[in-house]
Amino acid sequence: MINIINLKKKFDSKWISNGINLTIPKGKMTCIIGRSGEGKSVLLKQMIGLIKPTSGQILINGIDITTLKEFEKQQIFKKCGYVFQFAALLDSLTIFENVGITLLENGMAHEEIEHIVKEKLALVNLSADVLYKYPSELSGGMRKRVGLARTLVNNPEIIFYDEPTTGLDPITSRLVYELMLQTQQKLNVTSVIISHDIEIFNYVDYIAVLHNGIIEYFCEARNIWKSTNPFVKDFIHRF
Amino acid sequence: MILKFINSLGSCFLRICTEIGEFSLFFLKIIFVLFSKKLKTNQVVIYLQQIGVRSFGIVFLTGLSSGFALAFQSYIGLSKFGGEELVGVVVALGMSRELSPVLTGIMITGKAGSAMAAEIGTMKITEQIDALQTLCIDPYQYLIVPRIIAGTLALPLLSIISTLCGIIGGYLYCTTALNINSEAYLNIIQSKLDILDLTGGMIKAAFFGLILSTIGTYVGLHSGEGAQGVGLATTKSVVIGSIMILIANYFLSIFLF
C-alpha cells in the first residue's frame, strides 16, 4: 500500500503539489488523472524517489521514503518498477541488454539472463526476434512493451506507469491497457498509472483526480461517471 | 542604473558560486563512487576504445603535422646561430613536454569530450538516466566514473603516440627538406631526451584526460532541456575543457619541469 500524506512540491516559487493526500490500495490498479501541467508526472517521480518533495510523507508499505538514505531507498525501490512515458530504453544497448540490464549488472550467467529476458518478453507479447535489435528499430508500441518487460525482470510489487499510451494510436493504446491489466492479474502487483486518457477508466479499479496541486476526487472507477464534483464532471464530459 | 549593474553583478557572482558548488559536489560524488563501489571494468574498456582507439587517426595527423611545423620553425631560428643539428632535440622536447599533451588534450576535448556531453545530455533529456536510477543502477557508477577513468588512461597513451609521430614528422622534414643527417637527428634526441620529459608529458596528458572527461560528463549531466540544451552543453564542454586544459598546462609545466 502507498500512503501519501500532505505532500508538497515547489519549483522555484511555483507550488506544483499543494498538500496531496492519497491512499493507493495494494494489489489494485489506481489511475491518477488530470490536465496537462497539473504535476502528475512530478507526483509519480516523487513516489519513485527521482524527485525529492518539499514537504510531506510518502509511505510505501509503511516506510517513509522521503527520509531514507540512498542505500535504504534502493532496498525499497528494488520492489518497484517504473514504465516511462517514452519507454526510456538505453539506445546504445540491444533489447536483450536493456531488458536484462539489472541481471547483467549483477553478473548473472548469459544463458540464464537470456532465458529470463525471453520469458519477460513473452509476457508482454513480444517474440525473441527482437532480442538483438536496438530500440530505434522498434515501433513506439513495441518500445513501451520492452519498457514494461524491463520492469518485470525485477519481479516488482508496485509498477508505476507514466502516461503509458502517449503517442500511440487507439488500437495500440488498447493493447497496452490490456497488457497492463493482464500483468496486474497475473502478478497481482499494485499499479499506479498517470494518464489524461479517459479510456483507462475501463481498466482500472480506482481513480484519483488531480487538480490545483491536490487530489480533488477519489473513487472507484465504476463510480466516476456518477460524480457530482463540478471539476470531475467538466473534465470527463469534455472528452 | 548603478543599482541595476550591482544587481546583475551579484546574480552573476551567485551563478558562478552555484556552478562551482555543484561541480565540487559532482567531483566529490565521483571520488566517493570510485572508492566505495565496484569499478565497471567492461564499461571502462568500451570507453577506452571510444576515446583511445577511435582517436588514433586524429592524434597521428596532429602529431605528424606538428612535428613538421616544429622542425621547420626551429630550423629557421637555430640556423641563425649555427645550431641546425639541434632541431631534433627541439622537436623531441617540444613535442613530449608541451605540444603532444596540449594538442592531444584539445583534440580529444573536441572529439570525445563533446561526445560525452552530447551522449549524457541526450540520455538525461530522454529520461534514460532516470530509468537507470529506477532500476537501482547508479548512473555515476555506470556512466560517469568509467568515462573519467577511460579518459584519464587514454590521454597519456595518445600523447606518447603523438610525440612519436611528431619526432617522425620532424625526422622526415629534416632528412628530406633540410638535408640534416638522419643519424645526427636521432643521436641528439637519444642523448638529450630524458625519460622525465616523457613521463612529465604523460602526467600532464593524464590530468588533461581527467579534466576533459570530468567537464564533458558534468556538462552533459547538467544540460538544459531539448535539443538546444544538449547543443549548448556540447559547446560548453569544448570551450570550458579547452580553456581549463590551457590553464592547467601552465601550472603543470611549472610544477613538473
pLDDT in tens, A80-95: 999 998 889 999 999 9
Say if B116 falls within a structural domain. Answer: yes
Judged by CB atoms closer than 8 Å, whether chains meet at A74 and B137 is answered as: no
Task: Supply the pLDDT for residue A239.
Answer: 62
- DSSP for B130-178 reads HHHHHTT--HIIIIIHHHHHHHHHHHHHHHHHHHHHHHHHHHHHHHHTS
Mean pLDDT, rounded, for B73-86: 88
What pLDDT sits at residue A236?
78
Residue B214 scores a pLDDT above 90? yes
pLDDT above 90 (res A165) = no
Nearest to B160 by CA among B115, B209, B114, B112: B209
Residue B178 inside a domain? The answer is yes
How far, in Å, are A47, A215, B147, B180, B213 from residue A192 at the CA level? Answer: 10, 14, 36, 78, 39
pLDDT digits (tens, 9 = 90+) for B31-58: 999 999 899 999 999 999 999 889 999 9
Chain centroid to CA B187: 31
The model's pTM is 0.87
Assign A159 a pLDDT band (cuts: 50, 70, 90): very high
| B182 or B235, which is more confident | B235
Average pLDDT across chain B, whole number: 93
Chain B hits for A86, Cβ within 8 Å: 126-127
Residues of B near A (CB-CB distance < 8 A)?
119, 123, 126-128, 130-137, 142
Residue B213 has pLDDT above 90, yes or no: yes
User: Grid coordinates 541481471 are at which residue?
Assistant: A103
Domain boundaries, chain A: 25-51+61-237
pLDDT tens digit sequence for B130-139: 999 999 899 9
* CB-based contacts of B201, cutoff 8 Å, min separation 6: B96, B97, B98, B100, B101, B159, B160, B163
In the predicted structure, residue A223 carries a pLDDT above the cut 80: yes
pLDDT at residue A13 is higher than 90: no
Contact B130 A91 (CB under 8 A): no
- Cβ contacts from A onto B, under 8 A: 44
Chain A: give the shortest CA distance to residue B8, in Å: 19
Exposed, middle or buried: residue B168 (CB in 10 Å: 0-12, 13-18, 19+)? middle
Complete DSSP assignment for B236-257: HHHHHHHHHHHHHHHHHHHHH-
CA distance B136 to chain A (A): 6
Question: Counting beta carbons within 10 angstroms of the beta carbon of residue B67, is it exposed (0 to 12), middle (13 to 18) or buried (19 or more)?
Answer: buried
Q: Which of A80, A85, A90 sits opposite B128 (nearest CB)?
A: A90
Tell me the pLDDT band of B212, cut-offs 50, 70 and 90.
Answer: very high
Query: Do the Cβ atoms of B127 and A101 come within 8 Å?
Result: no
CB < 8 Å to B119, chain A: 92
Residues from A in contact with B at Cβ < 8 Å: 45, 48-50, 74, 77-78, 80-82, 84-86, 88-92, 101-102, 105, 150, 154
Distance from CA of B93 to the nearest CA of A (A): 42
Q: Which of A88, A89, A154 sits opposite B130 (nearest CB)?
A: A88
Checking if the pLDDT of B140 tops 80, the result is yes
Q: What is the pLDDT of residue A224?
A: 86
B107, pLDDT greater than 70: yes
Give the C-alpha separation, B176 to B69, whole Å: 14
Mean per-residue pLDDT, A209-222: 89
CA distance B13 to A215: 41
DSSP string, A19-71: EEEEEE-TTSEEEEE--TTSSHHHHHHHHTTSS--SEEEEEETTEEGGG--HH
Binned at pLDDT 50, 70 and 90, residue A114 comes out as very high
Of B123, B126, B142, the CB nearest to A86: B126
Q: Nearest CA to CA, how far is B129 from chain A (Å)?
A: 8
Structural domain span for residue B129: 40-256
* CB-nearest partner of A50 from B119, B128, B130: B130
pLDDT at A100 over 90: yes
Residues of A in contact with B123 (CB under 8 A): 90
Q: Taking the mean position of all CA atoms in its chain, how far away is CA B160?
A: 13
> Which among B127, B133, B137 is the nearest to A101, CB-wise?
B137
Number of domains chain B contains: 1
| Nearest in space to A70 (alpha carbons), one of B36, B13, B110, B42 | B36
Contacts of B126 in chain A (CB under 8 A): 86, 88, 91
Is residue B193 situated within a structural domain? yes
Q: Which positions in chain A touch B140 (Cβ < 8 Å)?
A: none
Position A179 scores a pLDDT of 85
CA distance A190 to A176: 17
R_g of chain A, CA atoms, integer Å:
18
Cβ separation of B135 and A74 shorter than 8 Å?
no
Residue B13 lies in a domain: no
Q: Is B127 close to A88, i.e. CB distance below 8 A? A: yes
- For residue A69, the model assigns a pLDDT of 84
> Is B35 domain-assigned?
no
Residue B182 has pLDDT above 90, yes or no: no
Q: Which chain B residues are closer than 8 Å to A91 by Cβ?
A: 126, 128
Q: Is the pLDDT of residue A78 over 70?
A: yes
pLDDT of the residue at A155: 87
Chain A contact set for B43 (CB, 8 A)? none
Q: Note the ipTM here.
A: 0.88
pLDDT band at A39 (very low <50, low <70, confident <90, very high): confident
* Structural fold of domain A25-51+61-237: Rossmann fold (3.40.50)
